[in-house]
Structure 1
Amino acid sequence: MISTGDKLPSMDLMVMTDDGPAKQASSEIFDGKKVVLFAVPGAFTPTCTLNHLPGYVENAEAIKAKGVDEIAVIAVNDPFVTKAWADQANAKGKVTFLSDWDAGFTKAIGMDTDLSAAGLGQRSKRFSMIVDNGVVTALNIEEAPGEATVSGAAKMLETL
């Protein structure tokens, strides 16, 4: 499992552009920048939609005022789903939505979890991290997927 001081792996994620889904290298997202990355078990799921994401959308300016270049959320969902979720949350310009369509990134950092009992299959643990030039400088992992406290925006503001 990834930990503080580790460099994020170099691999492709998916983003939705005006021309449709496109691959984006993780190095383009994280290298040379200070990024707050948070992960959710799934777009449109209750805790993610009602609690986790809104905190980051509402506090985007305050987070960026602390020297953060970008706020990104990653989910093991396809880019069409993450785009619809971004639209529903009115998050454009505040949070970048990353699709880890095959859970490759999530597995590479050891944050995968089996939520089959809840009908979700392989997903990501809920976490947040600060990534400075590709290196994890802070990491907050939730104990339970239905919680969004240690990985939430309020905790991130304290950490920053």
Structure 2
Amino acid sequence: MPISVGDRLPDVKLKKASPNGAEEIGVADFFAGRRIVLFGVPGAFTPTCSNDHLPGFVENFDAITARGIDAIAVVSVNDAHVMGAWARFTGAEDRLVFLADGNGTFARALGLDADLSDRGLGQRSRRFSMIVEDGVVKKLNLEEVPGKAVTSGAARILDQL
């Protein structure tokens, strides 16, 4: 069953690229005492993720953070090195936090895992966005149409703030 509004995020470990390699990030620690927009994508560098979903959050970074958001993070079932490369490639490394869910543990714990084997992607995450306050989901947007980033996009988050 997928995570719902009012649920606490599962406390699993994610990774983040750093100058010293992959740095482990505990979900509970990362979200503690903060108001964060988190969005999930099926894969770094994939067309919809790179061309439609992520750019909206980069372009609207100032507007989103001006509404009391402490950070905007993106998570994907990729390793920390791929997420670090994606951050650099998009030029968003100073705005967004790029979190790696290399084994899909977080996606499964959220109930938002997706089998995209028919597209050659294997086990991934569904596309989503959420507003999280102190580790608790306050708003949740699940994308229902593959290849689209409307329901889970930055414009929707801005409307919800």
Counterpart for residue 121 of structure 2: 120
Q: Tell me the equivalent position of 1:13.
A: 14
Contact map agreement 1:41 1:145 (CA 8 A) in 2: no
Query: How far, CA to CA, are the matches of 1:28 and 1:101 in structure 2?
Result: 19
Aligned pairs (5 A) from 1:11-160: 11-160=12-161
1:28 CA displacement: 2.1
Q: Which moved more, 1:144-153 or 1:120-129?
A: 144-153
Any idea what SS the aligned residue of 2:49 has? helix
Q: Could you tell me how far 1:144 is from its partner in structure 2?
A: 2.0
- Partners in 2 of 1:29 and 1:125 — Cα distance? 21
Amino acid at match of 2:108: K
Does the 8 Å CA contact 1:43/1:81 hold for their aligned counterparts? yes
Q: Quote the Cα distance in structure 1 between the aligned partners of 2:141 and 2:46.
A: 20
Deviations 1:128-152, CA, capped at 9 Å, x for gaps = 0000000000000000231100100
Letter in 1 for 2:109: A
User: How far 1:10 moved relative to its partner?
Assistant: 0.8
1:89-142, CA deviations, whole angstroms, 9 ceiling, x for partnerless residues?
100221100000000011001000000010000000000000000000000000
**What SS is found at the alignment partner of 1:54?**
helix
Please report the TM-score for the alignment, with normalisation by the length of structure 2.
Answer: 0.98
Q: 3-state DSSP class of the match of 2:15? A: strand
Aligned to 1:37, what secondary structure does the other structure show?
strand
Structure-2 separation of matches of 1:145 and 1:70:
26
Aligned residues: 160
- Runs of 4+ that moved beyond 2 A: none
Task: Give yes or no for contact 1:112–1:124 (8 Å, CA) kept in 2.
Answer: yes
Letter in 1 for 2:86: W
Counterpart residue identity of residue 43, structure 1: A
The CA RMSD measured in Å over matched residues stands at 0.6
Question: 1:66 is paired with a residue of what secondary structure?
Answer: coil
Question: TM-score scaled by structure 1?
Answer: 0.98
Instruction: State the identity %.
Output: 52
